[in-house]
Amino acid sequence: MNFFINATMPDHKSGIEHAELKRLDLFNKNSEPAKLVLRDWDPNAHVTANQAGISDEQIINLFDYFQETTQVTAKLVQVQNVEYGVLNAQYTDDPSNNRYLVTANGQLVARVNYKQTDERQVKSVEWFDGFNNLYCVDHYDSRGFVSLKQWYTPDNKIGTEAWQTPTGRVVIEAFHKQTMRGEMQKTNWRVIDHDNKYHQFDTLTALTTYFLDCLNEDYWSLDHPNVFILDRAHLGDQGLLELKKPAYTVFHLHNAHTSNAQDPEAPLFNNNYEFALNAIDGYDAVVSATHKQTADVRTRLQPKAQLFTIPVGVVPDSLLTAPRVPLADRQFGKMVVFARIAWEKHLDDLVRAIGIVHQEIPQVTLDLYGYPDPNENYKAQREVEAVIAEYGLEGVVTLKGYTSDIDAVQNNAMMYGLTSRMEGFNLAIMEAISHGLIAFSYDVNYGPNEIVDAGVNGAVVPYGDYRALADAILQVLRDPALAEKYIEGAYQSAERYSEATVWDAWKNLLADAQDSWTNKLAAMPGQRRG
């Protein structure tokens, strides 16, 4: 089995989630079994995953696994379906807070929080004792059962958490203790297995290692290895090194491996990858999305692990063969961007470039699609808004928010811009060229300076030079023939990321996994093919 390891599958997805979805689709199309392994508890995980096209059969969540809920028939639970243990319960709606107050004989029994939909499905129930003290909260899975019970201490802090099966059997517990600073922290995890045996773990990392071992055992075969692809390093970087039985372990780089993306020899690693990079020889393979990063990893670390270059993006055949949109059918001067408004995207520089362009070509516009990063009180968005005000770009630069309607937006636009401080590939700019958009980017590691082929499908300018970026945009807007050339070049260069090309790269990795399996089995005492 092939496992893709991540935290969860949120509604608003980052590049890693989009990359996993494209990979899962590719594996499915080529009849290669694969499952998405999710570590974090998320009551809405199955809803968001299903909406993304992932069936329950292809999801294994750590908590679902032990709760025996990997596949559950969903049911609707409303306020009247909850058992309150009292006679003559009264329900008072509090729509401003999306909840019901449940009382009996004038005494508050519970607060029932519901989803803001017509069905008012129960999200959680807060329970109160006879002195109006909160003592427990039941959290419901979106499929209609109590998944997590949080028990509160007398000073109104979570003391114990218990995850249970739909029948109410507790299978995972987390215990909290007060630190010297008075903060409550998880200090211990406990799993109660099918045989009613207790397994104790000091940390979630240790529990995750046990979970990965269970998966490896469940899908164990002498004929082929389990392949674990670690998409978020911190979720299993240690666990994959400590599997009791061998497997084929893959450390996937989705971003620059150093803290300074522009310097592959920078002394500090990217903190998300520090453990895995220092233990790189413990993995069987390392995947980078670009040839440049693969070369830099090889030069810097000289790992024993096999190195593979596999784009995280895939351009579907349906898009490669779709009718091409000429310049005449696009909105002249419209640039679009699909990115989080975050520090690393440095979108304030892109707005500065547009501000310069706008002084000569007033038709230019920039639409920013993506949700804002809340860090430092939405600092990145405030910086973008400040540049808009500085250049008087109200009505020229628009923050559109998150959207999934990429095809319609990009087929109408003319250009795509990128001014990131660091990247691991950038799916959005790959999707942009596949829609024929002219691409403009800083010379940033890794991805944009490979995806954007200067003089073919757009321009790559020195890192951090927004004036050079503005000049490159102006050159295209002044020259319709050059714009037509770049649009055609964009469509053609997207063929590098066709389904067949990317699948060939994955086949090479899977072949290496199979080739190494004989040696792994030989190293196991008493293992023979049956």
Ordered by where they begin, the domains of the chain are: 2-72+206-309 (3.40.50.2000), 79-203 (no CATH), 317-496 (3.40.50.2000)
pLDDT for 530 beyond 50: no
Q: Cβ atoms within 10 A of the Cβ of 491, count?
A: 20
Region 167-179: mean pLDDT is 93
Cα–Cα distances in angstroms (integers) from residue 379 to residues 338, 373, 385, in the given order: 18, 8, 10
pLDDT for 324 beyond 80: yes
Cα–Cα distances in angstroms (integers) from residue 363 to residues 280, 354, 478, in the given order: 51, 11, 12
Q: Cβ atoms within 10 A of the Cβ of 503, count?
A: 18
pLDDT for 341 beyond 50: yes
Q: What would the pLDDT profile of 386-426 be if each residue is shown by its tens digit? A: 999 999 999 999 999 887 788 999 999 999 999 999 998 99
| High-pLDDT (> 90) share of the chain, % | 90
Residue with tokens 């989705």, as numbered in its chain: 254
Helix ranges (H only) for 361-405 are 375-391
Interatomic CA distance for residues 8 and 385, integer angstroms:
31
Burial readout 233-244 (b: 16 or more C-beta within 10 A, e: otherwise): bbbbbbbbeebe
Band of residue 133 on the pLDDT scale cut at 50, 70, 90: very high
| High-pLDDT (> 70) share of the chain, % | 99
Q: What would the pLDDT profile of 251-294 be if each residue is shown by its tens digit? A: 999 999 999 989 999 999 999 999 999 999 999 999 999 999 99
Burial of 32 (0-12, 13-18, 19+ CB in 10 A): middle
pLDDT for 105 beyond 60: yes
Nearest to 422, CA basis, from 315, 299, 273, 301: 273
Band of residue 107 on the pLDDT scale cut at 50, 70, 90: very high
Q: Which residues contact 130 (CB under 8 A, 6 or more apart)?
A: 107
- Write down the pLDDT at residue 529: 42
pTM: 0.90
Mean residue pLDDT across the chain: 95
By the 8 A CB rule, do 355 and 393 touch?
A: yes
Q: What does the H/E/C string look like for 147-181?
A: EEEEEECCCCCEEEEEEECCCCCEEEEEEEEECCC
Q: What would the pLDDT profile of 349-378 be if each residue is shown by its tens digit? A: 999 999 999 999 999 999 999 989 999 999
Band of residue 527 on the pLDDT scale cut at 50, 70, 90: low
What are 332's two structure tokens?
């002249």
Higher pLDDT, 384 or 530: 384
